[in-house]
Amino acid sequence: MKIVKRILPLLIAFFGCSLLTGCFDLVEQIDMKRNGSGTIKATLNLSKSKTKVASLMRLKSVNGITIPTEATVKKEMENAVKTLRTTNGISNVQYSLDFTNYIATLSCDFKSIQALNEFSSTLSKQFKVKLTSYNSYAFNPSAQVFSRNYTYSPDIAKQFARIPNDDRQLFKDAYYTNIIRFESAVKSQVNKSAKVASNSKAVLLKIPATNLINGSTSIANTITLTK
């Protein structure tokens, strides 16, 4: 049950259904300005499995996993938003919940890279997960270098192994996507699984969720921009 919390804790209220449907997309978009401020938007998209999700949400639990009601999902999201709105350096917190297509989004503006890390820290405390212990960001405005530091935790794979094999197979169609956009062109980036956009102002990383779970692909990166 901790796996999806670790992958995308800010949308934790949907984790029960995403764990059982498997066919989902986790998308994180960061828009960075030259001074280190920017916006972040996270999306959990279960629309590929919306028929099954709708059926699951009519149940109380499946395989010992509690299925959240629409009211519970909304309450969890509102609690997260309330906390973020009082977080230093965070503003314009917005969210949406689409219970027809089962798509949840959460976004905000951050004043600095420290505020972006505070965003993660606040959500870690809100949902009682150790997100900030293995994921953080850094940005050097003068050198125009953006970094994402990431340390894989084997505990993720251990938790995943406890899921019945049939449910693990469902994760084959689940993906994690990270998109980072910049005002300046990207001079270089070091993650072998990531790609620079055709306009040279964004870096895209899209990997199977299982790669993130088993640690075969790292999401760490160092991106150098043109000055």
Residue 21 vs residue 157, higher pLDDT: 157
End-to-end CA, the chain: 44
What pLDDT is attached to residue 212? 82
Residue 202 vs residue 43, higher pLDDT: 202
What pLDDT is attached to residue 225? 97
Q: Indicate the helix (H) or strand (E) that contains 66.
A: strand 65-66
Return mean pLDDT, the chain: 81
For 144, residues 6+ apart whose C-beta sits below 8 A from its C-beta are 34, 184, 224, 225, 226, 227
Amino acid in position 50: K
Distances (CA, A) of 202 to 25, 29, 144: 20, 10, 14
Least confident of 53-67, 112-126, 206-220: 53-67
Over residues 82-132, the pLDDT tens digits come to: 989 999 999 999 999 988 888 889 899 999 999 999 888 877 776 665 544
Q: Does pLDDT of 147 surpass 60?
A: yes
What pLDDT is attached to residue 157? 77
The distance of Cα 29 from the centroid of its chain, to the nearest Å, equals 9
**140-164 mean pLDDT:** 84
Distance CA 21, CA 94 (A): 26
> pLDDT tier at 68 (50, 70, 90 boundaries)?
confident
Q: Is the alpha carbon torsion for 63, 163, 98, 130 positive or negative?
A: positive
> pLDDT tier at 9 (50, 70, 90 boundaries)?
very low
For 221, residues 6+ apart whose C-beta sits below 8 A from its C-beta are 147, 148, 189, 190, 191, 194, 203, 205
Distance CA 209, CA 15 (A): 14
Contact in structure between 208 and 175 (CB atoms under 8 Å): yes
What pLDDT is attached to residue 26? 85
| Contacts of range 161-166, beta carbons closer than 8 Å, 24 or more positions apart | 163/3, 163/19, 164/63
**14-40 mean pLDDT:** 76
Distance CA 86, CA 79 (A): 11
Could you tell me what percent of the chain has a pLDDT over 70? 77
Distance CA 146, CA 222 (A): 6
What pLDDT is attached to residue 25? 83
The distance of Cα 156 from the centroid of its chain, to the nearest Å, equals 15
Q: Is 158 exposed, middle or buried (0-12, 13-18, 19+ CB in 10 A)?
A: exposed
